[in-house]
Structure 1
Amino acid sequence: MAEYPRIRQVGLSGLLVQFGEGMTEPANRAAIAFRAAIDAQHWAEVSETSTSLVSTFVVADLINMPSEALLEKLQELLTSQDWYAAPLPSGRTLWEIPTLYGTDAAPQLEEAAQAAGVSPEQAIIELSSARVRVLTLGFAPGQPYTGELPPHWDIPRQQALTRSVPSGALVVAIRQLIIFTNASPTGWRHIGQTAFRTFRPTSSVPIALSPGDELCFPSITTKEYEHIQQSDLSGDGGAQRSVLT
């Protein structure tokens, strides 16, 4: 019997459906698709769902409701199809987020490019043309882990922390890109700078991104970046968005 997928109870608050031990595209796809399928069921006993890189978490009151009933429902849904090959949910958003690469605004581009075995110019071409998926949100409100980049971008984290990168910083490691929500220390290399805000506490939609959304980071000039900073107060940072079907 395959080790995954598997279901485990987490305390008295819910059940965790795991699709793998570590990050892979099929396991992440399965977690996102399975969560959408659960949400579509509108089960009364489920109050919330969420995903990590390779798991779906189902929140339910397991004190007043026996876990066996929900477990049976999840198991039936789990065996209804191959979730590793499932289509991603429709209605996701494609974001094209203007990004200033290198310069003093993102000073570790050359270092990251060297670690990936490409020139800084080639790094900008590859990163600005990549289309990555929001794999999960975490660390800070709305902060996305996105990927995956090609294998040569499987570069390690730094051994020492950068003291702080600003909000909107685009950082890279382990084939993933992150846009930082807040100014923060990090072991990931700061290779681009955006004016995009992942967390907008005064907005009706405070978390801008969702797992399954797709992102591109087209390259812009310093002058274009400064214009966006001054003119775009929406939090989108000059981003264009479209709905994925």
Structure 2
Amino acid sequence: MTGTKTFPRIRSVGLDGALVTFADTMTEASNRAAIAFRNAVETLNWDGVIETSASLASTYLRFDPQVLPHEDVLERLTQMLERQDWYGAPLPKGRKLWHVPTVYGTDLAPQLDEAAYAAGLSPEEAIHRLSQSRVRVLTIGFAPGQPYLGPLGPEFNIPRQKELTPMVPRGALVLAISQFVLFAGPTPTGWRHVGQTGFQCFRPDHADSFSLDPGDEVIFTSVTRDEYDALQTDAMGGAVFEEITS
């Protein structure tokens, strides 16, 4: 494996959880491992596993210890880790590439200029680079269906704000530490609001209520304000997807 003597690491979490950690920081390889490992556990469909999730660099399992004892879980996970190099494992099949129309800047996303300055770029160059970036859904968290996406180029490794923005709307695309977050609902944030979309991350009235899954990829395509306004009659703000076949 491309891990270290410390990682991957298996730990118990409370009475009914196990955490497989692939690194202490998020990298492309550790995130790939977390997503691929979680998918492998899901595919095995063990009796007693209640839910799984993948974070930036870990896979979490919650299980019923009366059906699947702790020692069995740890043994199975250990055997899986030894089976292959998870840091180079292929990402799950069936992933989607989304194209999401996005207004950068304007009054809808008023911190684009500030973020561009922090990145050492003009607003025009920042929009060009951000709108051309193909980013991975690294994890879902903070709110139902809400994705963290990246990595962006190193120039966008800008810090969070020192103070909170009181509120950004649903569909806000915010930026910090070389990642995007696409907000599932109105919320305060310390991340800079650089783009606005009509995308719905969380649709509780659908069977698959989360629109995105870890491993999906997104391009936040730049559109004009008029184009954005015209797309708002569509439930997903004009977003479309295609299946990733490679």
The answer to whether the 8 A contact 2:137-2:217 is kept is: yes
Q: Which residue is equivalent to 2:234?
A: 232
RMSD between superposed Cα atoms in Å: 1.1
- The reply to whether residue 193 of structure 1 matches residue 193 of structure 2 is no
Q: Which residue is equivalent to 1:98?
A: 101
C-alpha separation in 2, matches of 1:64 and 1:241: 39
- The reply to whether residue 242 of structure 1 matches residue 242 of structure 2 is yes
C-alpha separation in 1, matches of 2:50 and 2:156: 38
Offset at residue 64 of structure 1 (A): 5.4
The answer to whether the 8 A contact 1:88-1:212 is kept is: yes
Unaligned regions of 5+ residues in structure 1, if any?
none
What is the aligned residue count? 242
C-alpha separation in 1, matches of 2:117 and 2:133: 18
Flag as ranges the 4+ runs of structure 1 deviating above 3 A.
none
Which of 143, 146, 149 is residue 149 of structure 2 equivalent to?
Answer: 146
The answer to whether the 8 A contact 2:47-2:68 is kept is: no
Letter paired with 2:238: G
Letter paired with 1:240: V
Which of 105, 111, 116 is residue 108 of structure 1 equivalent to?
Answer: 111
Offset at residue 62 of structure 1 (A): 2.2
Offset at residue 46 of structure 1 (A): 1.5
Offset at residue 14 of structure 1 (A): 1.6
C-alpha separation in 1, matches of 2:192 and 2:68: 46
Matched residue SS, 1:53: coil
Letter paired with 2:216: D
Q: Which residue is equivalent to 1:21?
A: 24
- The reply to whether residue 36 of structure 1 matches residue 39 of structure 2 is yes
Offset at residue 48 of structure 1 (A): 1.4
Letter paired with 1:232: D
Matched residue SS, 2:131: helix
C-alpha separation in 1, matches of 2:145 and 2:98: 15
C-alpha separation in 1, matches of 2:17 and 2:163: 37
Matched residue SS, 1:182: coil
Letter paired with 1:146: L
Offset at residue 17 of structure 1 (A): 0.3
- The reply to whether residue 207 of structure 1 matches residue 210 of structure 2 is yes
Structure-2-length-normalised TM-score: 0.96
